[in-house]
Amino acid sequence: MRYANALRLPHHAVMKTLPTLLTMAHPGDVSELDVRIKNGTIRADQIVAVIGKTEGNGGVNDFTRGYFTQSLMHLLSVHLDASPAELAARIPCILSGGTEGVLSPHYVVFCRSEEDTPSEGGALAIGLAFSAPTATGEIGRAVHAHQVADAVRAAMRDAGITHPDDVHFVQIKTPCITVARAEAARAQGVEPVSGEPNRAMAYARAAGALGVALALGEVEDGAVTDAALLADMALYSERASVSSGVEISCNEVIVLGNSPHWSGPYRIAHRAMSDALDIGAVVGALADLGLDAAPQLDAAALARIAGVFVKCEPQRQGRVRASRHTMLDDTDINAQRHVRGAVGGLVAGVIGDGRIFVSGGAEHQGPDGGGLIAVIARGQGA
């Protein structure tokens, strides 16, 4: 298995992470980033990762993710001495489609640089890794989870994070199985985990989540089996966020945490969400960063936030607390689109901004029917 990271700076050095929240007018719009690079606010050679939301459907045929990635890599190639393909191989661009309701298309650009001294109490740390390509017959199976686990451990080493408790959010993008890929595998005598694309995406997300859980010690190694995926929902990670898409063939990993060896004004906090109405987890994650939602963040507090990341999932027994929900029975609108809109509205109401990464498909990502929230913010007065 190969691993690649984007920075190539010495790991004994003190590092600094600077995240920047940008908006887009359409899925190929990277004009705000172009302006920031040209005016010197962002250095193109320090960009190591991008996480964002596009306005597609979030399904197998959501090509808005690939469109944005293509636009991003083309822009960076203009500013850097590298081709778009070379940049895509070292800068993970992990996107989730679907901006239902009040959610707004946006992206967070992460820059990493060398600093003189670490910040007192630690600061936001970022680590990256790419796995080798995952074979179609492995996607969504236990072997896939172990491949992701190895990549997460590599990303932790890249961040200089040694203790799993210092990791607060792991964003994964896994490849998915299209009909064409399934047929190509069968022609070689290999049966994919599912030939139905949406079901295969769920298995891929499940494998990614349990890979994170393995790497962070949230589940025992022997518990992750083919039979456990999408079945034993007591197995989950409180810090995994996994998307799956046609635009990649390997597993892209971004690890975010806090480290005493890093510098800068930003820190990250997370909470598990017990269900789609768990506003307490949202308020708690903000409070961990010194942000008071009473009941909504004021303008000064909102200005400190550089990223909000949420995973959510319709409860499989068809209830939210004591009440029945109909998300899984709606044949007109996919359940993931329902839950993204609902949870997005809940979180945006507390934050006071629709630029929130809310991703459905939270299989094994937080408690069943719930999910997780992670927030990156500057310290007060920073």
The set of catalytic residues is 173, 243
DSSP bridge partners of 109: 20, 50
Tokens at residue 311, please?
């995973």
CA dihedral (161, 165, 171, 174) positive or negative: positive
Q: Would you tell me the crossing angle of helices 31-38 and 64-79 to the nearest 10 degrees?
A: 20
- DSSP for residue 55: S
C-alpha span between 217 and 207 (Å, rounded): 15
Residue bearing tokens 């590092």: 15
Q: Where are the beta strands (DSSP E) in 135-228?
A: 167-175
How many helices, marked H, and strands, marked E, lie in the chain? 9, 15
Give the H or E element holding residue 110. strand 106-115
Give the number of other CB atoms < 10 A from CB of residue 35: 12
Q: Kindly tell me the sign of the dihedral angle through the C-alpha atoms of 315, 320, 323, 325.
A: negative
Q: Which residues contact 150 (CB under 8 A, 6 or more apart)?
A: 1, 131, 215
User: In terms of DSSP bridges, do strands 323-324 and 319-320 run parallel, antiparallel, or are they unpaired?
Assistant: antiparallel
Residue 332 CB-density burial (10 A; 0-12 exposed, 13-18 middle, 19+ buried): exposed
